Every structure is written in structure tokens, then in C-alpha cells.
Amino acid sequence: MDNTEKKHQRRIRYKGTHPKSFDARYKEHQPDKYGETIKKVIQKGNTPAGMHRPICVNEILDFLQIKPSQIGLDATLGYGGHTVEILNKIDSKGHLYAIDRDPIESKRTKQRLLDLGYSENVLSIKNINFSDVDILALDSGLFDFVLADLGVSSMQIDNPERGFSFKNEGPLDLRMNPNIGIPASDRLRELSKNEIIGMLIENSDEPYAEKIAEAIILEYTQGNMINSTTDLYETIQKALSFLPKDIKDDVIKKSSQRTFQALRIDVNHEFEALYEFLEKLPQVLNSGGRVAILSFHSGEDRLVKKSFQFYFRQGIYKEISDGPIRPSMEEQSSNSRSRSAKLRWAIKA
């Protein structure tokens, strides 16, 4: 017998009942084949790997009041969860434009939606930033409704290669479009201590901004690089090592979430993009056109609120939501990622 004969290679097993890494959760990457697994993950209040669960769907549809022949814009396609709900409301006379700045995920979503039977007659998907909504409108004409579901998708957060989360080891990148700009690791190295403090406070109200900034600068002065998500996480752990034992783990987790969020906002120029989008919205909406925006942190919500109020006072919007609409308690408990969501709306005069 040939001793060099290759041993039979077993497929990597689903490790335990709760595989943690993104790749090992292979059943969740194949929803068509493993529907039961997907159902179980969702029942537990989690999001299956490689998927995104749309938030406040009923609240958004109730407000948008979509008519079959309308022309609309989903400004943040993501996994296409809201897109599908909207498409089910319009017919062959209507059309939905769906855009996303992420070329990786929007390509996958485009294919998925095509496979579901949504052809280019009813749906146009484009890989653009919503700050260019005015350029899009030159092609599409004015919109009867617009939806924006801000921030990042679960697919982006969960994929270690994108570097969005301190929970997974990966390159510290954090760009929604990796073809544009510089990765977060390069950006961080450019900043002074005071600039890091400013970024952490302005973008995510980080209470330990100074300690974290000092620890980051110390790493660089000692010749250490912060190139991976783990490098940054460990730097934050060092920065907060002085905290009492009983609160340390919890504070480190929250500060890490806020630090990654602040860096993501900076690297993707998120506030600038949102500001431009909000400023251009009135000129791309039809009279009576409706816009709904879902935001996930106070900085975003503040910008949306201020813009809606500003144009309302000018008579450009005839009605705006009184305050933010929150996901139902049921949704908050069934989808932990919905908990920070705030929905605001406006109607063009």
C-alpha cells in the first residue's frame, strides 16, 4: 500500500453547538439549506452570520405609505431587507433605486435580489455614497419616498476581514468602501493625542478618551504598531487597566465599542456624508414626498433632528415627526441590534 496516500480530509466540523467565528458558522451562510438553524439563531435574538435583519419595518412602511406606481430610493441597501419589503409594495409601473457605498456587500445583495426575481425593471442597484443623491436624481427623477437606515450592516460588523469589531481578529480597516480612502490603522497613526481625544469625544462621547489616546500614543512611541483589531483592543485594555476589578471588563467592552465606532465614523467621513445627504434631500423629493431615517447613535440622530427642524421652520417640510420613534419592546428583545435605533420622518411641502 502506498504510504503517501492522502488521508481522507474531513470537512471542518461545526465546532460545538455555538461556533463563534464568522467562518465556522457555515450553516448560517447557507440560509436556503439550513433554514432551521437560521430560525433558531433569530429566535434567540441574534443575527445569523452573513445576514442583516431589517429594523422597524412596520413603522417605516406605515409612515412611507408606498403606492404601487411610485418611484423611491433606499439609500442604504445593506442586505436588502427593507428593499424587499418596499419592492413588495410597488408594481411594474413603480421603481426602486437602492444604493450602498459598500461594493462588496452590494454585489452580493444584488445577486440575491436578482435570484429572488426582482429584475432591473423594478430595481436599480448602484454602488454610490448617499451624499451624491443629487447626481443620482439627475437619472432617476425626483423621489416619492426615501429611506435611509444609517450605520453599518451585520455582515460588515461580523466579517473579521473588514475589521469593524474588536470581537474578531482582523486588519484594522473599518472602511465601508475599501477602494476609497485609507484604513483605520493608517488614519490612527496620523493623529496626535489631542486629535484622538477629539475624535473619541465628538464621535462617540467616550468618557475615557484621554486615557485611551495616551495609551495609543505610548504604543507608537515604543515602536509598536496598531495594525489589527486585536492590537487596538489590547491597547484599550492597557489604558483601562487601572479600573476596579468588578467594573473593568464591562467598561473595557463599552469603551472598545465606542472607540471602534468613533474610528469608523472618522474613516468613512460619516457625519459629512449624512450632512450632505440631509442638505440635498429636499431638492430630490417630490412635493408630498416622504423621507424616513433610522439612526443608531446620538450624533446621527442630532443631525437628522436638526435638519428636519430647520427645513420645517422654512416651510420646505410641511410635517416632521414629533420625536424619535423607537422599535417595539418585542423587536428590541427579539433583535438586540435594534435597541439603539431611532426613527425620524419628514414630509416635503
Nearest in space to 331 (alpha carbons), one of 84, 86, 46, 55: 55
Q: Is 72 in the site for ligand SAM (CB under 6 A)?
A: no
Which residues are within 8 A (CB) of 118 and not within 5 positions of it... i.e. 6 or more apart? 84, 87
Report, in angstroms and rounded to the nearest whole number, the Rg of the chain calculated over CA atoms: 22
**DSSP letter at 331?**
H
Q: Is 153 in the site for ligand SAM (CB under 6 A)?
A: yes
Q: How far is the CB of 94 from ligand SAM (least distance, A)?
A: 19
Candidate residues 54, 72, 299, 327; the one interacting with ligand SAM per rule CB under 6 A: 54
The binding track of 167-186 with respect to ligand SAM, each residue x by CB under 6 A or -, is ---------x----------
**C-beta neighbour count of 57 within 10 angstroms:** 16
| 226 vs 294 by CB, closer to ligand SAM | 294
Residues 286 to 345 in contact with ligand SAM, rule: CB under 6 A: none
Among 80-88, 206-214, 243-251, 310-318, the segment contacting ligand SAM (CB under 6 A): 80-88
Residues 125 to 144 in contact with ligand SAM, rule: CB under 6 A: 129-131
> CA 99 → CA 46, 112, 148, 264, distances in Å?
26, 15, 10, 20
Q: Is 59 in the site for ligand SAM (CB under 6 A)?
A: no
Q: Is 79 in the site for ligand SAM (CB under 6 A)?
A: yes
Helix (H) or strand (E) holding 35: helix 35-43
Which 3 state secondary structure label does DSSP give 113?
A: helix
Q: How far is the CB of 52 from ligand SAM (least distance, A)?
A: 4
Residues 101 to 120 in contact with ligand SAM, rule: CB under 6 A: 101-102, 105
| 130 vs 317 by CB, closer to ligand SAM | 130
Q: How far is the CB of 89 from ligand SAM (least distance, A)?
A: 15
d(CA 26, CA 153): 19
| 60 vs 240 by CB, closer to ligand SAM | 60
Q: E strands within the chain? A: 71-74, 95-99, 123-126, 143-149, 285-295, 317-320, 342-348
Which residues are within 8 A (CB) of 126 and not within 5 positions of it... i.e. 6 or more apart? 97, 98, 99, 136
**DSSP letter at 127?**
-
Among 95-103, 134-142, 165-173, 197-205, the segment contacting ligand SAM (CB under 6 A): 95-103
Looking at beta carbons, which residue is closest to ligand SAM? Answer: 78
Would you mind telling me the total number of residues written for the chain in this entry? 349
Among 98-106, 180-188, 227-235, 325-333, the segment contacting ligand SAM (CB under 6 A): 98-106
Positions in the binding site for ligand SAM (CB under 6 A): 52, 54, 76, 78-82, 99-102, 105, 129-131, 149, 151-153, 176, 273
